[in-house]
Amino acid sequence: MDKKVLIIEDDANIVELLTIHLYDLGCRIIAEANGQKGLTIAKEEQFDLVILDIMLPGLNGMEICRKIRQTDRLTPILMLTAKSEEIDKVMGLETGADDYLTKPFSIREFIARVKVIFRRKEDNEALQDATPTSSIITYGGLEIDLDKRKVTLNNMRVELSPREFELMALLASNPGKSYSRKRLLNLVWGYDFEGYEHTVNSHINRLRGKIEDDVSNPKYILTTWGVGYRFNEEL
């Protein structure tokens, strides 16, 4: 049992079904039906994955996700929702979730999503282990430490979500190269999230708000009109 998974879900049948299949993947499972209690467990212990329902007693899943991300920006979160409206999916991702599934979902799709999340986490850890020396990108007062996943601006740390950091690292590692919103979704989220390109816009806007002196006249992350975004190659 080399993976530890927290399930915060109040439907006992769903918990039982997910537990059976996660066990087959070699996971150890802790399940909690109450949102507030689930948040406490998430903060007290380390997990390889948190599976989080949106509609919960005690505290809803969106708020739990926000609170987890305030102190933990790396643990993958897979959000479950009975709602199919676009706004719920987008809000789930923008609060810090790595992926989502809309109920009812097939167990095969669930397993596929979990495997992708585990593989991505392992790849990131292996990459960090294989790089003993720090890889730092510097543009004036902006410094991006790829190994430590740390961004500083004028020697002050900038707190970024995992997706914000990955967007920043990708763009800054390839200055001058323009990426479409769809391409950024594929590269940063790890799968084709067709139709939700505006999620990228929201993340870029938040990034600019954290690193730009004037978001209406950005210095670092530029818009390539008709295409998408690029990092300023003239810095």
> What is the band of 131 on the pLDDT scale with cuts at 50, 70, 90?
very low
User: Of 5-9, 41-45, 187-191, 213-217, which gets the smallest average pLDDT?
Assistant: 187-191
Q: What is the DSSP string of 29-62?
A: EEEESSHHHHHHHHHHS--SEEEEESS-SSS-HH
Mean pLDDT of the chain: 87
Amino acid letter for position 93: L
Cα–Cα distance for residue pair 211/79, rounded to 1 Å: 29
Question: Which of helix, strand or coil describes residue 96?
Answer: coil
Starting at the edge strand found earlier in the chain, the sheet holding 27-32 runs 27-32, 3-8, 49-53, 77-81, 99-102
The model's pLDDT over 20-29, given as tens digits with 9 standing for 90+, comes to 999 999 999 9
Would you state the pLDDT for residue 133?
47
pTM higher than 0.85, yes or no?
no
Cβ contact 229:178 at 8 Å: yes
> What is the band of 98 on the pLDDT scale with cuts at 50, 70, 90?
confident
> What is the band of 85 on the pLDDT scale with cuts at 50, 70, 90?
low
Cβ contact 168:160 at 8 Å: yes
The residue-averaged pLDDT of 54-79 equals: 91
User: Of 38-47, 55-64, 167-176, 182-191, which gets the smallest average pLDDT?
Assistant: 182-191
User: Of 53-57, 120-124, 129-133, 194-198, which gets the smallest average pLDDT?
Assistant: 129-133
